[in-house]
Amino acid sequence: MDELLTRLEELDKQMILNRDEASSEQWLDFMDHRQQLVDMLIQRAEASPLAPEHRNRLASIQMNEDKLRRSMEAQKTEAANWLQQRGQAKAQRNAYDVVYASDSVLMDRRR
């Protein structure tokens, strides 16, 4: 149990330090790895009750989880704003582009 808690604490600590520079792929890898560790912890906790020191460490890990969740939500909001601005720019650009019919014919009259 101690080993799993230590690995989870280290994983969280590393991501907290790099959360502002982390790419979406890094976040996905982090979440997949973290979920595996959490699943192993749940299996071990079901097999035997948690000691008080383990509960304290889990409470600390949960506080880290809140920090990480806020960081992910901030990055999600930033990405959504970027996509919205991109969509608005595209709509404005398209408004100024004039589309001409390809089968129109110019007629010239001679006098």
What whole-number distance in Å separates Cα of residue 28 and Cα of residue 38?
A: 15
What whole-number distance in Å separates Cα of residue 87 and Cα of residue 96?
A: 15
Q: What amino acid is encoded at 109 in this protein?
A: R
| Tokens matching residue 44 | 């071990």
What whole-number distance in Å separates Cα of residue 107 and Cα of residue 101?
A: 15
pTM of full prediction above 0.85: no
Q: What is the pLDDT of residues 22-39, one digit of tens each?
A: 888 898 999 999 999 999
Contact between 38 and 8 (Cβ < 8 Å) = yes
> CA geometry: angle at 21 spanning 19 and 26, to 5°?
70
Lowest-confidence region among 13-22, 42-51, 75-84, 90-99: 90-99
